[in-house]
Structure 1
Amino acid sequence: MKLLLDFLPIVLFFGAYKLYGIYVGTAVLMAATVVQMGIIYVIDKKLTTMHKATLALILVFGALTLFLQDERFIKWKPTVLYTAMAIALAVALWVFHRNFLKMMLGSQLSLPDGVWHRLTIAWIGYCLFMAAINGYVAAYFSTDAWANFKLWGYVFPVAFIIGQGLYVARHLKDEPGAELPPGGST
């Protein structure tokens, strides 16, 4: 359910874009993201900083796209978001010596500090890669090619999350009380 909710705005954007063009697609993306965040808020009783930043950027860049009738704004929004995420993670890690991933997920995942550090570096690299590839497609390809990239480019985050999950699974600490009793059976 949560995964479907994550992809809903981009799928609706793509459909509206293909049927009615970039400006209707942008308006649909803005509305779908507001609804998405409302549902997340009802389910979780809060929005994360990332949810708030994503919503703000979509609304600001979407409004600029619609008001100025300039599609470049909505096309560059992912690059701005990914770059901001990479900078925030890097500054927190290397300037303030704080690990945002551990702060956000440490209560849910018990991992050694070295693993948290490597995960954060992987996220920084991933965000920079996604910022660069979106920027390249936005700058050098047509809006139609960019929209197709937005839909089919979701293979990158899916592959990254699967890879991250496999890496994390190898390093999860055993939960207390999970050992088998003497004799090997329960």
Structure 2
Amino acid sequence: MKFLADFFPIILFFVAYKLYGIYAATAVAIGASVIQVSYHWLRNRQVEKMHLITMVMLLVFGGLTLLLQDRTFIMWKPSVINWLFGAVFIGSHFIGEKPLAERMMGDAVRVPSPVWRRLNLAWGGFFVLLGLANLYVASFFFSAEAALTAQTGLAQIDLTSCGELFNGDELQMCLEMQSLEADWVNFKLFGMMGLTLAFVLLQAFYLARHMQDQEQLTEEN
């Protein structure tokens, strides 16, 4: 349940996108993130740092998306936030007595210190790669958008009105942009959630194996 709660703004973003388009979805995601943080504060008198950082990033990048009517900002947001998380994990490997992974889970799981350090670096690398994967998927849309804006001279393109604005090759280019935007939204939900879930499961198997080793070592001593 917590895993789904962490993805609450993304899930609502996806639903709103399918119904009303990317700008409405961005506004919904901002609202959902504010509600998420507010709920945790009212219930626990504290907020999770990941939720708080996500809210701030959504307010900045989502706000710019709505203000300038430019999808680029909201499409870059997942990469920036994942790279930020990656930097925090990797930085904690060198700063402080314990890496971040151990600080987060060390009270519930007992494994040797080297295991925590390897796992911490794995999380850092995972977030960096996830950010790159998002940018890779988004880059196809950016390329298609640049091609259409160069051909038409339009600074902004309303993808909901392709049939009204264009015909011929330009119409096909606009429809391709629609498809690529939808591909990015699908990746943002299903791709990122799926990759994160797979990584969490691999982490669980990795920790379980070393928990057994730690138990055997404790019994021998």
User: What TM-score, normalized to structure 2?
Assistant: 0.73
Greater displacement, 86-95 / 158-167: 86-95
Counterpart pick for 2:185 among 139, 147, 157: 147
Distance in 2 (CA, whole Å) between partners of 1:44 and 1:160 is 28
Matching residue of 2:203: 164
The structure in which a higher percent of residues are helix is 2
Q: 1:113 to 1:40 in 2, by over 3 A?
A: same
User: Aligned letter for 1:57?
Assistant: M
User: Aligned letter for 2:6?
Assistant: D
Matching residue of 1:118: 118
Distance in 1 (CA, whole Å) between partners of 2:19 and 2:88 is 37
Q: What stretches of structure 1 of length at least 5 have no aligned partner? A: 180-186
Post-superposition Cα deviations, 1:62-96, rounded to whole Å, max 9, x if no partner, equal 10110111111111111001111112222221366
Is 1:16 equivalent to 2:35 in the alignment? no
Matching residue of 1:58: 58
Matching residue of 1:184: none
Greater than 6 Å deviation, 4+ residue runs: none
Any residues of structure 2 matched to 1:9-88 within 5 Å, and which? Answer: 9-88=9-88
1:42 deviates by 3.6
Greater displacement, 35-44 / 78-87: 35-44
1:38 deviates by 2.1
1:98 deviates by 4.3
- What secondary structure does 2:16 align onto? helix
Distance in 1 (CA, whole Å) between partners of 2:2 and 2:124 is 24
Post-superposition Cα deviations, 1:44-78, rounded to whole Å, max 9, x if no partner, equal 43113222211110111110110111111111111
Any residues of structure 2 matched to 1:124-135 within 5 Å, and which? Answer: 124-135=124-135
Distance in 2 (CA, whole Å) between partners of 1:45 and 1:96 is 26
Number of residues of Structure 1 aligned to a counterpart in Structure 2? 177
Distance in 2 (CA, whole Å) between partners of 1:48 and 1:140 is 33
1:107 deviates by 2.0
Matching residue of 2:157: none
- What secondary structure does 1:117 align onto? helix
User: What TM-score, normalized to structure 1?
Assistant: 0.86
Q: 1:166 to 1:42 in 2, by over 3 A?
A: farther
Identity %: 41
Whose Rg is larger?
2
Q: 1:58 to 1:86 in 2, by over 3 A?
A: same
Post-superposition Cα deviations, 1:6-51, rounded to whole Å, max 9, x if no partner, equal 2322121111111111110000001111112222334443113222
User: Aligned letter for 1:151?
Assistant: L
CA contact (8 A) 2:36 2:51 kept: no
